[in-house]
Amino acid sequence: MQPRQNERAMNANRCLPGFSMLLCLLLVSWVARAQPTVSLHDLTGTWTLPDGTLIAVVQRGNRVEARVQALLPQLINVFGWARDDPYFRGLITAGAFSGQVYVHFPVISKARCPNTAPQGTVLEFQIAGPNTLMGRARNLSLSQTDCTITTDARWTAIEFSRKKFDLADTSSEIAIKVHDGILFDFDDDRLKPDALAVLGEIKTLVIDQQQFARVLVGGHTDDRGSESHNEDLSTRRAQVVARWLSQNGVAKDLQAKGYGKREPTVPNTNDANRSRNRRVEIKLIK
């Protein structure tokens, strides 16, 4: 009971002179309930649907939006998606998302209805955990006779899974970033058993689906340790990943390079930032 009493005491301290204690506590309670609830899990990162669609999710407070990243050929050829197209956006309240997901109609339908643009439809999902979103989207239908779009009563189940890598797709390269502790243990250059599944996903979902000229694998460390040690460790890690890619069918020109601590993504001012700087990047150069 003590934590509850302390909480009430803190709320009482917010009261202005002249307010009755009961009215003040009721007011504080109402204001607290009115505040938007932010997810306990930051959803920012790379996520995928069961069909292999990769999306980049960005969360700012209780606002969340997603855009399409690396594209599977059928998304381009059949539905006309393009890199960086909006995918969904909305708000999180009490661990649940409510917003819109954007629907692209098949290209063959657009040939008959050339003015048909992507349409938003209702999307709801629950945050089932830090790496899983479970929900549903309201169905849309495009009439082939008069090109009208209607919403029906049916829903389509939808599931998102967070990937253990981040993706950035630009006009010149696709950069795949795998952070600390996923591929290697601390200060080690041997692939962890679980790393094979992560590299397999990267190859299947990204590398096998893209057109590119060469692959650059870069190893990076934080600022702890000597410069020579960090250069050596990052080089060995890059070589291990490049060797795995080569042995598993990536036949493009492969280059492995260790950058040591020379290219941090964030300042090495605390343990969390140092963890972000310890990474391997696989760049598909277009």
Annotate 203-234 with DSSP letters as a single string: IIIIGGG---SEEEEEEE--S-S-HHHHHHHH
Beta strands 253-258 and 214-220, pairing class: parallel
Cα–Cα distance for residue pair 272/159, rounded to 1 Å: 29
**Which domain, by its residues, includes 227?**
166-285
Report if residue 100 sits inside a domain: yes
Boundary residue ending a domain (124, 139, 162)? 162
| Residues whose CB is less than 8 angstroms from the CB of residue 187 and which lie 6 or more positions away in sequence, other chains included | 225, 233
Is residue 117, in this structure, part of any structural domain at all?
Answer: yes
| Domain identity same for 212 and 131 | no
107 or 181, higher pLDDT: 181
170 shares a domain with 137: no
Please tell me the predicted confidence (pLDDT) of residue 105: 86
Q: Could you tell me if residue 2 is inside a domain?
A: no
The CATH code of the domain that includes 145 is 2.40.128.30
Tally of domains within the chain: 2
Choosing from 162, 186, 206, the residue where a domain stops is 162
Instruction: Let me know whether 177 and 109 are in one domain.
Output: no
Shared domain check, 150 and 174: no
Single out the residue in 102, 137, 162 at which a domain terminates: 162
pLDDT of residue 9: 42
The CATH number of residue 215's host domain is: 3.30.1330.60
Residue 51 reports pLDDT greater than 70: yes
Q: pLDDT category, 40, cuts 50, 70, 90?
A: low
Q: How far apart are CA 35 and CA 13, in angstroms?
A: 19
Is residue 7 domain-resident?
no
Same domain, 182 and 270: yes
pLDDT recorded at residue 4: 41
Residue 146 domain-assigned?
Answer: yes
Please tell me whether residues 271 and 187 are part of one structural domain. yes
E-assigned strand segments in 143-267: 149-162, 166-169, 173-179, 214-220, 253-258
Rounded mean pLDDT, 115-119 = 86
| 275 and 180 in a common domain | yes
Quote the pLDDT of residue 19.
Answer: 43
Is 11 domain-assigned? no
Tell me whether residue 21 is exposed, middle or buried, using C-beta atoms within 10 angstroms of its C-beta: 0 to 12, 13 to 18, 19 or more.
exposed
% of residues, the chain, pLDDT over 70:
84
- Does residue 231 sit within a domain? yes
In sequence order, the β-bridge partners of residue 285 are: 173, 214
Token pair for residue 237? 């890690």
When pLDDT is averaged across residues 156-162 and rounded to a whole number, the result is 92
pTM: predicted TM-score of the whole model, two decimal places: 0.74
Residue 19 counted as domain residue: no
